[in-house]
Structure 1
Amino acid sequence: MKDIKKILICEDEEILLTALKFRLQKQGYELTLASDGEEAKALLQSDPPDLLVTDISLPNISGTELVTFLRESQQKDTPVILIAPMDDEEAIAEAMRLGANDFVTKPFKPVELVIRIRCIFEAQAALK
């Protein structure tokens, strides 16, 4: 039986969130969705995912703060992929220093994110 991976996506742009939901469900992933950082933090605590995909710029709690929270929690090994504006190099660099695993810059094609997610899960499986 195939192990279904659970992904938490935190994105405040509803159109992008819907597009990612459609694409990732089609790939067989179980999804939990959040539209702001506070909601994502609560979900990280109550229903830990196998991977977090988060926008860097979020209402209430930023994506960078979510990375810090995750790395200081019992789920410190949970991979994180950031979604960031192309011109926000400093925020991307800071989030990577804090422990994010990868990032995509807006605008991006959903297939690019699917490939990055697959690569992270394949790398994890190879280490087991």
Structure 2
Amino acid sequence: MKVLIAEDDNLIRKTIEIKLAKEGYEVISCAEGASALDSIRSEQPDVVLTDIMLPAVSGLEIVSAVKQSEGKPIKVIVLSTMGQENIVEEAFKLGADDYMTKPFSLTELSIRVKKLLQSQ
């Protein structure tokens, strides 16, 4: 199973990447939105984890692009900081499958990824 991480914070991105790789996922890592969209098109991941605030292309734009694309369905988990409830609501309207507020537990993130993959 392939998981794409779109997160501009290097520490958060690397930490998630290490955790998911240890659990056997193939991990694609992107530091900004435009490269994430390119990788989503070329790699066709099973799950996308995206921060809301990204350089170039926002997490909301990623959610929208993923959910409007043809091809296999891709699950999306949005990662946001506190106080972005209106943005999270917008993400759900665009088709996000789940969201987590930063800071979050890596174990909980892993459980949510697994749960989404089982529901496909």
**Which protein is bigger by CA-based radius of gyration?**
1
SS at match of 2:101: strand
1:61-105 Cα offsets, whole Å, 9 max, x none, are 000000111112114621000000121001100001110000100
Determine the structure 2 residue equivalent to 1:51. Answer: 47
SS at match of 1:53: strand
- Distance, in Å, in 1 between the alignment partners of 2:109 and 2:92 is 17
Q: How many residues align?
A: 120
SS at match of 2:91: helix
Q: Is 1:67 aligned to 2:63, yes or no?
A: yes
- Distance, in Å, in 1 between the alignment partners of 2:70 and 2:31 is 23
State the shift of 1:113 in Å: 0.6
The change in CA–CA distance for 1:76 and 1:88 in structure 2 (over 3 A counts) is: farther
Determine the structure 2 residue equivalent to 1:104. Answer: 100
1:95-126 Cα offsets, whole Å, 9 max, x none, are 011100001001111111101001111122xx
Contact 1:53 1:81 in 2 (8 A): yes
- Distance, in Å, in 2 between the alignment partners of 1:102 and 1:81 is 5
Where do 5+ consecutive residues of structure 1 fail to align? none
What RMSD, in angstroms, separates the aligned Cα atoms of the two structures?
Answer: 1.0
* TM-score, normalisation: structure 1: 0.90
* TM-score, normalisation: structure 2: 0.96
